[in-house]
Amino acid sequence: MSRPNAQSMKPATAAKKLDVYLPATPAEFQQNAITRGELAALQADPPQWLKDLRKNGPHPKNLVAAKLGVSIAALARNGVGDALTTDEINQILDDKPEWLAAERESYQEVLREERRLKALRAECANDD
């Protein structure tokens, strides 16, 4: 009988799969490869440090962008750093800067266009 495959991944990959900001994770997590089994265990029963990171941050830029309703590029254009805490995100939402409203509208327009093109491609595929 063969042993289960214990493939491992770099800490950065594991952090991305867990939706956490790697530099904010414990040193032990950052310095060791993570197996698929360990990742599954972290997802199924997250330790306190993981719960705290998911709740309070700092959050990686993809989650910051999602929470603000803008693209990652919009964050860069407007000088928002790589990672923000939940409180910092809430402060931006409370302050409602002009750039946020403009970037949200632009992002929604991009999403509408992507949906339109997807529907058009689906329609063309059905015609064939």
Task: Provide the pLDDT for residue 19.
Answer: 92
Calculate Rg over the CA atoms of the chain.
19
Task: Provide the pLDDT for residue 4.
Answer: 44
Number of residues that this document lists for the chain: 128
Task: Provide the pLDDT for residue 125.
Answer: 86
Task: Provide the pLDDT for residue 6.
Answer: 57
| Residue 114, φ and ψ in degrees, nearest 5 | -60, -40
Mean pLDDT by 10-residue block, N- to C-terminus, for the chain (128 residues)? 62 94 95 92 95 94 94 92 92 95 94 93 84
